[in-house]
């Protein structure tokens, strides 16, 4: 993403026109630009906020240092990063703790592991060339078969709550912090209803401990990209 201040302002103006609104509620920088300091990005969004064109500032896939640099110029409201029961790096690289310290909401994308955590994808599933999963190391037949233990775990917990694997995966995220709001993708109405049902599932401390202990014994095969 070209994140030069002048380009950011042009994008904002174009978005306002395209959306036919007077103000953008949440304006994200989708991926850090290695060629533009975060302070410059935050400064440009701060100007937009002062002009009344944007209400809140968001980041995506930024590391802890970048989050702090941006937040010092213009408070960051939300961070969009990949986070799920089988991709938990933000717990280890200070991103999650930085969000908690600074009061930044986390918006996990791919909370269902690009569909794998629904339990409806296995080593026999094929993907078209236009599907990003066709080039994803975690979606080779070998990796999908090796990672089946994650689905077995979600199905086991799901049976105890009358829930699907997808609902347990989302409920797990919701149980981590009250300021976490996952954004699962849904192409069908029934999937949307299923995902929404995760809100009503309350995992117990025993459930969470069981999941934590079980996941510590599962070695996930395949990088996320």
- Give the total number of structural domains in the chain: 1
State yes or no: pLDDT of 95 exceeds 80.
yes
- Judge whether 173 lies within some domain: yes
Nearest to 25 by CA among 1, 8, 3, 48: 48
- Judge whether 37 lies within some domain: no
Residue 2 has a pLDDT of 66
d(CA 86, CA 105): 20
d(CA 211, CA 170): 13
Residue 188 has a pLDDT of 87
- Averaged pLDDT, 197-223: 95
- Judge whether 117 lies within some domain: yes
- Averaged pLDDT, 8-27: 96
- Judge whether 95 lies within some domain: no
Contact assessment for residue 82 and residue 224, using Cβ atoms and an 8 Å cutoff: yes
Q: What is the pLDDT of residues 57-83, one digit of tens each?
A: 999 999 999 999 999 999 999 999 999
Residue 69 has a pLDDT of 98
Residue 184 has a pLDDT of 94
Q: What is the pTM of this model?
A: 0.91
- Judge whether 211 lies within some domain: yes
Q: Where are the alpha helices (DSSP H) in the chain?
A: 5-19, 38-50, 64-73, 95-102, 141-146, 148-161, 165-176, 189-196, 205-216
State yes or no: pLDDT of 1 exceeds 60.
no
d(CA 3, CA 61): 14
- Judge whether 51 lies within some domain: no
State yes or no: pLDDT of 216 exceeds 90.
yes
d(CA 81, CA 60): 6
Burial of 202-224, coded b for 16+ CB within 10 Å and e otherwise, reads: ebeeebeebbeebbeeeebebee
- Judge whether 151 lies within some domain: yes
- Averaged pLDDT, 46-59: 98
d(CA 206, CA 52): 47
Give the domain extent around 154: 113-179+186-225
pLDDT band at 185 (very low <50, low <70, confident <90, very high): confident
Nearest to 212 by CA among 82, 81, 88, 83: 88
Contact assessment for residue 118 and residue 166, using Cβ atoms and an 8 Å cutoff: yes
- Averaged pLDDT, 155-172: 97
Q: What is the pLDDT of residues 100-116, one digit of tens each?
A: 999 999 999 999 999 99
Q: What is the pLDDT of the chain when averaged over all its residues?
A: 95
- Judge whether 168 lies within some domain: yes
Percent of the chain with pLDDT over 90: 93
């Amino acid at each position: 993403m070209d994140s030069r201040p002048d380009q950011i302002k042009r994008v904002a103006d174009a978005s306002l026109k395209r959306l036919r609104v007077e103000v953008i509620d949440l304006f994200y920088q989708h991926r850090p630009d290695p060629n533009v300091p975060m302070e410059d990005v935050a400064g440009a969004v701060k100007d937009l906020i002062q002009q009344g064109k944007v209400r809140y500032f968001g980041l995506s896939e930024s590391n802890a240092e970048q989050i702090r640099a941006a937040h010092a110029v213009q408070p960051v409201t939300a961070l969009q990063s990949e986070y799920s029961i089988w991709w938990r790096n933000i717990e280890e690289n200070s991103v999650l703790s930085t969000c908690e310290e600074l009061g930044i909401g986390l918006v996990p994308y791919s909370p269902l592991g690009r569909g794998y955590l629904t339990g409806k994808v296995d080593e026999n599933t094929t993907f078209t060339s236009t599907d990003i999963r066709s080039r994803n190391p975690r979606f080779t037949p070998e990796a999908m078969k090796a990672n089946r233990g994650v689905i077995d775990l979600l199905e086991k917990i799901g049976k105890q709550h009358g829930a699907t694997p997808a609902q347990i995966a989302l409920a797990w995220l919701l149980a981590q912090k009250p300021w976490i709001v996952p954004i699962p993708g849904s192409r069908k109405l029934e999937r949307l209803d299923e995902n929404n049902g995760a809100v009503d599932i309350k995992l117990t401390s025993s459930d969470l401990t069981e999941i934590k202990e079980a996941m510590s014994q599962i070695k996930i095969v395949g990088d996320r990209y």
